[in-house]
């Protein structure tokens, strides 16, 4: 689940061999919440504005399966700020100085910045905007690799599951490496052909798309690059970098290098991932991580912008929530997160005023899931809603366990404050579910925009990104608006409002290579919708 969607696309391409030959008191008067099956399918391309803001559009009015955010602000929320809601973002770190985020970052008013004293006596020194539980860790192994490496310290059943996956990955690595190298060679050859044709080293995807040539080599190169641009690439360099990384990863699996690394021990000696006591303190207040260029903080910065980037300030994008503050909790590296970091981050959020937690991360192995489950239940007692990304492997999580989750497979939920979100694409109809999105009639609760979502990136930049990692904060933003306008509603009631008020459809959709009713891939069978959520919340 840690792979970017670009990596996921390249993995799919390699596997298929596709390139071998090529509560507040106001009443809302509105139409009823109803089925939208009569809505026509949009046949025209999205405009630039629509593409950048499609999560905000309305399905009925615009034939784009967004969350009716613009409609909600125009027809319901004008002049209504509500109460400020703190949203904790457990992620890779956030660029708190970003021009579109600097006004929405949570500040711990009880802490005096930079004095080296725990002024508020919460155990964390100078935690002005949150906390970094990773220290200087950026790179990290996947959980199954760590379990195999550290198997002597772990239960046999956990080790056996991890060892099975590790052995399968090693077996696949040689073949995968050869395919990645073949794809990279094809991209390099196409890049050289296009450079020669255009007479320059750097070019845009628009320039490639505009090429008119009868030269077969140029046409084939154009077709190859257009394919990859269609996977969300912004440049050839991005594809080359990603493929080189995949080749290195495959080689490391083949030679056992993954089992020789211990990033946590190197960065935080003695801070064992398999020992955790509630109240234990580690880490620092580097909110964007150790890289001065803040590259490590892209994911968290993008997520934060979807939730709450400053609205109507003439910059970048509008976040879903207009009165939210982002608490920064860095606990997610380039590999799989550690259970103790996630558990501690959840408890920090619950203890320091967060009403919503966004968790755009996940994994399929866990050495100590009970720590996270206990933290989720603790957050429930503190009336905190946890909004969770479903995952990006086109997997039915009713039958394959994913962490974090508030249940074992399709079993009984351990809490009522945990909301899991799958991803939608910006086209209503059979292809509206993101091809990568996990799903589950029991384990996934609702779907929301998660393909090519435009949001904040470090150093005052803006970029598209895809994943359930983007769908989750979209819904966290909806939850923040509801909790702002209706502060008497509990976390569980907010979850129920979001699930019950979503848009329904009887359409069949493509999911993991099969056609299935949209209503059968989540517990609610619905698409999150801010406008309808406000209507329903007003009636609670």
Closest CA to 326 of 480, 113, 119: 480
Distance CA 415, CA 406 (A): 6
Residue in this structure with the two tokens 């609702």, named with its chain if needed: 446
The DSSP bridge pattern shows strands 130-132 and 453-457 to be: unpaired
Distance CA 521, CA 518 (A): 6
Please give the biggest Cα pair distance in the chain: 72
Q: Which residues contact 443 (CB under 8 A, 6 or more apart)?
A: 390, 397, 398, 402, 405, 407, 409, 410, 420, 523
Distance CA 74, CA 304 (A): 23
- State residue 375's pLDDT score: 98
Residue 29 to residues 76, 488, 532, 535, Cα–Cα distance (Å): 9, 21, 11, 8
What b/e readout covers 124-141, taking b as 16+ CB neighbours within 10 angstroms? bebbbbbbbbbbebbebb
429, 392 Cβ separation under 8 angstroms? no
pLDDT tens-place string over residues 404-430 = 999 999 999 999 999 999 999 998 989
Using CA of residue 405, residue 406, residue 410, residue 411, what is the dihedral sign? positive
- State residue 16's pLDDT score: 46
- State residue 238's pLDDT score: 86
Residue 25 predicted with pLDDT over 50: no
- State residue 10's pLDDT score: 56
Concatenated DSSP letters of 38-99: TPPPP-SPPPHHHHHHGGGS-HHHHSS-S--HHHHHHHT-TT-----EEEEEEES---TT-T
- C-beta atoms surrounding 372 within 10 Å: 23
Residue in this structure with the two tokens 């400020």, named with its chain if needed: 84
The DSSP bridge pattern shows strands 526-527 and 503-504 to be: antiparallel
Distance CA 285, CA 136 (A): 11
Q: Would you state the structure tokens that stand for residue 427, as one six-digit string?
A: 């086209």
Average pLDDT, the chain: 92
State the pLDDT confidence band at 34, using cuts at 50, 70 and 90. low
458, 288 Cβ separation under 8 angstroms? yes
Region for residue 79 given its phi and psi (left: phi exceeds 0; alpha: psi -120 to 50; beta: otherwise): left
Phi, psi for 462 (deg, rounded to 5): -140, 140
**Mean pLDDT within 322-343:** 97
pLDDT tens-place string over residues 294-319 = 999 999 999 999 999 999 999 999 99
Burial category of 312 from C-beta neighbours within 10 Å (exposed 0-12, middle 13-18, buried 19 and up): exposed
What b/e readout covers 190-226, taking b as 16+ CB neighbours within 10 angstroms? bbebbeebeeeeebebeebeebeeeeeebeebbebbe
Cis peptide before 404 (omega within 30 of 0): yes
Q: Which residues contact 529 (CB under 8 A, 6 or more apart)?
A: 67, 68, 478, 501, 502, 503
pTM value is 0.89
Residue in this structure with the two tokens 């405009």, named with its chain if needed: 47
**Mean pLDDT within 452-460:** 97
Integer-rounded Cα radius of gyration of the chain: 23
- State residue 479's pLDDT score: 98
- State residue 6's pLDDT score: 55
Phi, psi for 423 (deg, rounded to 5): -110, 140
142, 336 Cβ separation under 8 angstroms? yes
Considering the chain, what percentage of its residues have pLDDT values greater than 90?
A: 84
Residues counted in the chain: 540
Phi, psi for 182 (deg, rounded to 5): -65, -45
Considering the chain, what percentage of its residues have pLDDT values greater than 70?
A: 92
Distance CA 179, CA 177 (A): 5
């Amino acid at each position: 689940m840690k792979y970017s969607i670009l990596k996921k696309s390249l993995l799919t391409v390699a596997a298929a061999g596709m390139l071998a030959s090529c509560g507040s008191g106001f009443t809302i008067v509105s139409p009823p919440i109803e089925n939208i099956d009569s809505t026509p399918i949009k046949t025209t391309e999205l405009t630039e504005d629509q593409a950048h803001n499609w999560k905000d559009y309305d399905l009925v009015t615009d034939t784009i399966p967004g969350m009716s955010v613009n409609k909600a602000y125009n027809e319901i929320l004008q002049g209504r700020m509500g109460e400020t809601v703190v949203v904790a973002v457990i992620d890779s770190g956030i660029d708190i100085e970003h021009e579109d985020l600097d006004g929405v970052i949570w500040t711990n008013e009880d802490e005096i910045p930079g004095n080296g004293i725990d002024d508020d006596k919460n155990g964390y020194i100078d935690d002005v905007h949150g906390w970094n539980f990773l220290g200087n860790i950026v790179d990290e192994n996947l959980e199954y690799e760590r379990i195999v490496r550290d198997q002597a310290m772990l239960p046999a059943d956990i080790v056996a599951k991890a060892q099975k996956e590790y052995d399968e990955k090693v077996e696949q690595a040689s073949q995968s490496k050869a395919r990645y190298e073949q794809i990279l060679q094809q991209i390099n050859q196409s890049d050289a052909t296009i450079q020669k044709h255009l007479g320059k080293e750097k070019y845009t995807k628009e320039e490639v798309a505009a090429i008119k040539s009868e030269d077969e080599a140029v046409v084939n190169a154009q077709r190859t690059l257009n394919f990859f641009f269609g996977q969300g690439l912004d440049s050839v360099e991005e594809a080359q970098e990603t493929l080189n990384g995949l080749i290195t990863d495959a080689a490391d699996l083949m030679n056992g290098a993954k089992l020789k690394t211990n990033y946590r021990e190197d960065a935080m000696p003695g801070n064992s991932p398999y020992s955790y006591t509630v109240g234990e303190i580690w880490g620092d207040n580097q909110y964007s991580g150790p890289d001065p260029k803040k590259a490590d903080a892209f994911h968290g910065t993008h997520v934060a912008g979807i939730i709450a980037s400053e609205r109507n300030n003439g910059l970048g994008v509008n976040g879903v929530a207009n009165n939210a503050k982002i608490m920064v909790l860095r606990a997610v590296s380039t590999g799989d997160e550690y259970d103790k970091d996630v558990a501690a981050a959840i408890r920090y959020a619950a203890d320091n005023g967060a009403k919503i937690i966004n968790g755009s991360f996940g994994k399929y192995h866990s050495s100590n899931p009970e720590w996270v489950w206990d933290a989720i239940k603790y957050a429930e007692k503190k009336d905190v809603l946890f909004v969770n990304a479903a995952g990006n492997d086109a997997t039915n999580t009713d039958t394959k366990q994913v962490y974090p989750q508030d249940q074992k497979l399709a079993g009984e939920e351990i809490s009522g404050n945990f909301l899991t979100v799958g991803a939608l694409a910006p086209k209503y109809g059979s292809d509206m579910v993101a091809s990568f999105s996990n799903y589950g009639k029991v384990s996934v609760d609702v779907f929301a925009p998660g393909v090519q979502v435009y949001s904040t990136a470090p150093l005052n930049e803006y970029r598209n990104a895809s994943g359930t990692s983007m769908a989750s904060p979209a819904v966290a933003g909806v939850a923040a608006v509801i909790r702002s306008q209706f502060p008497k509603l509990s976390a569980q009631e907010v979850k129920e409002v979001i699930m019950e008020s979503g848009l329904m459809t009887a359409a069949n959709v493509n999911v993991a290579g099969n056609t299935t009713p949209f209503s059968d891939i989540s517990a609610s069978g619905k698409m999150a919708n801010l406008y309808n959520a406000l209507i329903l919340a007003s009636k609670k």
